[in-house]
Amino acid sequence: MKRKFTLFFIACCIIILSETWLPHIRICGVQPDLLLLYIVFLGVLEGPVYGGIAGGILGLLSDVMIGQYIGLGMLGRILAGIVAGYLGEKFYRDNYWIPIAATVLAVAITEIIFWFGANLLGWQLSLWGYTLPYILVASLYNGILAPFLYVLFYFCYENGWLKKPM
């Protein structure tokens, strides 16, 4: 129970950090999506079911606290957690290329779902003019951050205060 509370507390801190400090380190209009990275890491280390559940809960929490359209972020993060979980099951989770690949896929999934949902709701977002360049920059930015943050998360997960009880 203590571990689950710690994981949830980390997620809440990430959501607060994402809305207060991270907008100041934007590159080409893109800020790092630490919550998505967190969901990817949980999916890689815990599996697709846990990744999907974490993506759903944290995506809904993020949508309620921040988002305009409740459910779009949640759906994208559920799929991102599931995909990351499958990658974590198929490959060695201590391989640092796995979180990079999972992050790039997760960014693409969440942004395409947002584009599709926003267009259904009446926004006229251009896929070629806005969404794909944004996906490329966001994938690159988050993909560069992924291995550095994954090393810290993986260490805490295997040896530190996020270690599973025996």
pLDDT at position 70 is 84
pLDDT at position 80 is 95
What value does the CA radius of gyration of the chain take, rounded to a whole number of Å?
A: 15
What the block records as the tokens of 56 is 């759903």
pLDDT at position 115 is 87
Q: How high is the mean pLDDT in each 10-residue block of the chain (166 residues)?
A: 85 90 90 95 94 94 82 92 92 84 94 88 80 91 94 87 74
Q: Under DSSP, is residue 107 helix (H, G, I), strand (E, B) or coil?
A: helix
Closest CA to 113 of 61, 49, 66, 59: 59
Contact status, residue 99 vs residue 39, Cβ threshold 8 Å: no
166: DSSP letter:
-
Question: How far apart, in whole angstroms, are the C-alpha atoms of residue 146 and residue 39?
Answer: 12
pLDDT at position 4 is 84
pLDDT at position 40 is 96
- pTM reported for the whole predicted model: 0.92
